[in-house]
Amino acid sequence: MGKDIIIRIGGEGGEGVISAGDMLAQASARAGLEVLTFKTFPAEIKGGYAMYQFRVSAEEILSHGDTFNIFVAFNAEAYEVNKGFLKPGTVLVYDGPDSDVDPKPVEGVVQYAVPITRISKVDLSSPISKNMVALGAVVQLFSFPMDSLVELVRNKFKKKGEDVVNVNLKALEAGAEYVRSNIKKTDNFYVQPKKPEGDAIMLSGNEAIGLGALVAGCQFFSCYPITPATEIAIWLAKHLPKTNGVVVQAEDEIASLGHVIGASYAGAKAMTGTSGPGLDLMIELLGFASMAELPLVIADVQRGGPSTGLPTKSEQSDLFLAARGGHGDFPRIVLAAATIEDCFYLTVDAFNLSEKYQIPVIILSDGSLAFRTEKIKRPDLSKINIINREVYSGNGDFRRYEITDSGISPVSLPGQASGQYIATGLEHSESAAPKYSAEYHTLMTEKRFRKIENIEDEYTASEYDGSGNEDIGIISWGLTQCSVREAVKRCREKGLRVSALYPRMVFPVPVKAIRKFASTVKKVLMPEVNYQGQFAELVKAHAGIDPVRYDIYGGLPFTPEQIEAKIKEVI
């Protein structure tokens, strides 16, 4: 096996591309290898081009990579979309020869034709099993562990009945048998199992957010389903009841945040999950939560916008909304996840920060990260610190919004003796009575913002990777950080002097870290997947740095190759 292999499967939505890819990725993880997946598919349930890419390696994987080493084309459209990436050294496995896929020979590209449609349709009378025939062929060609695949096929289809399991097992074997009998392997790609190191689990970004919420002590989750965030709710609906937690499907996003605010008022750690259009709707209540100083977490899984936009694609374009959305002046914290581990740990952080500061915290993920699956080290729960809101312990003269030096005032729980107060969206006095005087609005506004005045000293908001004197420094956020990490590694191997800052808190802008970082480099480069350079604009406004911007907005994440080329151009 080479250092790592990237396999891409392309076909039509509804043809089972995703199932086939998931199974290969899981089999690789079970074989002790590192795995990272990347999927894009259309917004339709059936039809359109669906793609599943996974990278498998004996070593740590930083990003989804550039293009593929092996491409499996289920149909002519998938071939057409990807033929430009078939470079010498790559392998094409396609539905043929008796199909509409008609690849042109390319020098240095190994091509294997496997009649996946014919075998499934004619030989097995099960057209839906086309993906399993392809899977069998791929398993045989590149030495994936067949035993593992057989088990995964059984597990995947058992809820559909024994007949479905059996025909798919037959299809898997038929694909493998076709290769054994008809194809002479001429490429050098083999998957070689490795002794597993440590205890690992495989999760998607959305599942990791759900797990993070569970570990942080979330007791209530309400949402309105929306692509690409729905799997957070699906995961929590399965697991939250095990800890006596509750999941509610609300009638819309406004109601869901209303539920969460109510649950938080009642003392529960509460969360909602949504995507851009849902966050739009929640903004008025976001201001309410900040005014009432109620802890809560919103996971915003960004998709391409504006409006309905690109539901199944990803973009980093909700930052302005998360950081600045709403009328009036109110504080909130925005964290941004870059990896599956981040989705888990930053969700725990989001709950901790919201409880500590009694403030809404938004965690930004995106469509690519939501659907990505990755093998990660099993979190050691004994090392995770959980913070709970400070609860009032006096027995008289409770002032819910007491002016304190830190800005944080203890909260009471409903029913608590002497703890009565009313939480509303109105400006208020220390004892929560409506009060609109200039004096109180000034005092309370300052109190609310004072809570997070020193957050950069109290929370590790970013990670620095550099030696203190480089030609170029890259500041990135969210998923873009993965491709930046790989590009930085490649550039350093080529002798370029590059450093990087990886903020995990994007609002308030970690000004101290950014200014210090900028002082160590000749130029700052900021790549982002949005048109307006949203983080670059915030950095410019808050830290006074004028970075070189690199914005893409095609609904796909950066590849390391793109970042590497830009670094070289800027240097």
Single residue of 90, 148, 227, 368 touching ligand COA by CB under 6 A: 227
State yes or no: residue 317 binds ligand COA (CB under 6 A).
Answer: no
Q: Are 222 and 259 spatial neighbours (Cβ–Cβ below 8 Å)?
A: yes
State yes or no: residue 373 binds ligand COA (CB under 6 A).
Answer: no
Single residue of 41, 142, 220, 550 touching ligand COA by CB under 6 A: 41
Nearest to 274 by CA among 391, 363, 174: 363
DSSP 96-155: -SSSS--PPP-TT-EEEEE-HHHIIIIISS-GGGHHHHHHHHHHHHHT--HHHHHHHHHH
Q: Which of residues 494-553 bind ligand COA (CB under 6 A)?
A: none
Q: Which of residues 455-494 bind ligand COA (CB under 6 A)?
A: none
Identify which of residues 357 and 371 has a Cβ nearer to ligand COA in the complex.
371
State yes or no: residue 43 binds ligand COA (CB under 6 A).
Answer: yes
Q: Find the shortest distance in angstroms from Cβ 47 to ligand COA.
A: 9
Identify which of residues 46 and 522 has a Cβ nearer to ligand COA in the complex.
46
**Which sign does the torsion angle of CA 517, 518, 521, 525 carry?**
positive
Helix axes 130-142, 17-30, angle to 10 degrees: 30
- Taking CB positions, which residue lies at the least distance from ligand COA? 16
Q: Which of residues 121-150 bind ligand COA (CB under 6 A)?
A: 128-129, 131-132
Identify which of residues 309 and 425 has a Cβ nearer to ligand COA in the complex.
309
251 phi and psi, to 5 degrees?
-80, -20
Q: Are 360 and 372 spatial neighbours (Cβ–Cβ below 8 Å)?
A: no
Pick the piece of the chain touching ligand COA (CB under 6 A) from 39-47, 239-247, 259-267, 536-544. 39-47
Q: Which of residues 161-180 bind ligand COA (CB under 6 A)?
A: 164, 168
State yes or no: residue 302 binds ligand COA (CB under 6 A).
Answer: no
**Residue 307 neighbours by CB under 8 Å, 6+ apart:** 277
Q: Find the shortest distance in angstroms from Cβ 50 to ligand COA.
A: 5
DSSP 394-440: -SS---TT---SSS---B--TT-TT------SS-B-TTS-B---HHH
Q: Find the shortest distance in angstroms from Cβ 14 to ligand COA.
A: 4
Burial of 535 (0-12, 13-18, 19+ CB in 10 A): buried
For residues 294, 296, 301 and 302, what is the CA-based torsion angle, rounded to 10 degrees? 20
Q: Find the shortest distance in angstroms from Cβ 312 to ligand COA.
A: 5
Pick the piece of the chain touching ligand COA (CB under 6 A) from 42-50, 141-149, 261-269, 423-431. 42-50
Identify which of residues 140 and 462 has a Cβ nearer to ligand COA in the complex.
140
Q: Which of residues 319-358 bind ligand COA (CB under 6 A)?
A: none
- Indicate the helix (H) or strand (E) that contains 475: strand 470-475
Pick the piece of the chain touching ligand COA (CB under 6 A) from 38-46, 246-254, 393-401, 539-547. 38-46
The DSSP 8-state label assigned to residue 204 in this structure reads E
Q: Find the shortest distance in angstroms from Cβ 24 to ligand COA.
A: 12
Single residue of 222, 264, 290, 312 touching ligand COA by CB under 6 A: 312
Q: How many CB atoms lie within 10 A of CB 159?
A: 8
Nearest to 220 by CA among 197, 201, 245, 203: 245
State yes or no: residue 72 binds ligand COA (CB under 6 A).
Answer: no
Please report which residue ranges of 269-397 form alpha helices under DSSP H.
276-292, 319-324, 340-357, 367-371
Nearest to 281 by CA among 325, 227, 336: 325
Pick the piece of the chain touching ligand COA (CB under 6 A) from 14-22, 290-298, 417-425, 479-487. 14-22
Single residue of 16, 267, 305, 560 touching ligand COA by CB under 6 A: 16
Give residues in contact with ligand COA (CB under 6 A).
13-19, 41, 43, 45, 50, 128-129, 131-132, 157, 160, 164, 168, 227, 311-312
